[in-house]
Amino acid sequence: MYAFRYQTASSAADAASRLAAHEDAKLLAGGQTMIASMKLRLASPSDLIDLAGAADLHGITVDAKGVTLGAMSRHAEVARSADVQKAIPVLAKLAGGIGDRMVRNMGTMGGSVANNDPAADYPAAVLGLNATVNTTTCSIAADDFFLGMYETALQPGEIITSISFPIAKRAAYMKFKNPASRYAMVGVLVAQLADGSVRVAVTGAGPVVFRVAAMEKALEASFTPAAVASIKVPAEGLNSDIHAQADYRAHLITVMAKRAVEAALA
């Protein structure tokens, strides 16, 4: 690990100010990716700005419209929140299935979404539930936020403050996980929103989380497992690695989507 200066921010605005003052500074949310990258000398920030003390980035708010999670909400907090479990059960269940106990107690929602790992779970929740990402400068719709592998619509110096999830009529998330890391080799979140529209978000299969329009159309006509059972996603452009080839991941998308619909109905 290279030498760096450690700083603590008292608020989102303070963090933004400190970030702007140092060209090579980086934010520390949960640190599950950043610290590992620094240990391997893949990242060498001049300054590390810890967001743990930023009170305005913490907190879970639930009302009749939905759930708003502060960017520094730990996965474990979301998973055990009775309010989240009642309002959007799929969100609590998804958070409870991330990594292991240490990861869930250290990792944060904002850090996960900002990092945008291709196999992370939270991007599927943001895209599948049609959430809004709130930042220090604006609010960004889920469909506009995830741009590519580790790439988002965040501008330099822009910090996620919270994410707002509207309450869905029903939703479920199913993933085929890597047995070692518990990252999603393929994860599918299916949600029928309050207006009756359906969203199907896939993580782990491609370079970035994406929606499957054919499945959404079929489920809007008939929200049943049979509606998606015969829909095949092309393998072209999907990930191939030591864990699974693209054609296998394409097959898993259909399997996980069908299981998600079954779970949502149950």
- Annotate 9-28 with DSSP letters as a single string: -SSHHHHHHHHHH-TT-EEE
Strand, helix or coil for residue 102:
helix
> Which token pair is 26?
């980086």
pLDDT, one tens digit per residue, over 199-218 is 999 999 999 999 999 999 99
Predicted pLDDT at 223: 98
Helical residues (DSSP H) of the chain, grouped into ranges: 12-21, 34-39, 75-80, 82-87, 89-96, 101-106, 109-115, 122-128, 142-145, 213-221, 225-229, 246-265
> Which token pair is 103?
């990861």
User: What residue spans in the chain does CATH classification 3.30.43.10 cover?
Assistant: 5-50
Tell me which residues of the chain have a pLDDT lower than 70. none
User: What residue spans in the chain does CATH classification 3.30.465.10 cover?
Assistant: 58-265
Predicted pLDDT at 1: 82
Q: Which value, in Å, is the radius of gyration of the alpha carbons in the chain?
A: 18
pLDDT, one tens digit per residue, over 142-154 is 999 999 999 999 9
Predicted pLDDT at 31: 92
- Please report where in the chains the tokens 């939703």 appear, as a residue: 171
**Taking the CB of residue 155, how many other CB atoms lie within 10 A of it?**
10
Predicted pLDDT at 182: 86
CATH number corresponding to 58-265? 3.30.465.10
The answer to whether residues 153 and 145 touch, using CB atoms and an 8 Å cutoff, is: yes
The pTM of the full predicted model, rounded to 2 decimals, is 0.95
Structure-derived torsion over alpha carbons of residues 137, 142, 147, 152, reported in degrees to the nearest 10: 40
**Taking the CB of residue 190, how many other CB atoms lie within 10 A of it?**
33
Q: Find all residues with CB under 8 Å of 88, minimum gap 6, and list them.
A: 66, 67, 129, 165, 167, 168, 171
The top-level CATH class assigned to 5-50 is: alpha beta
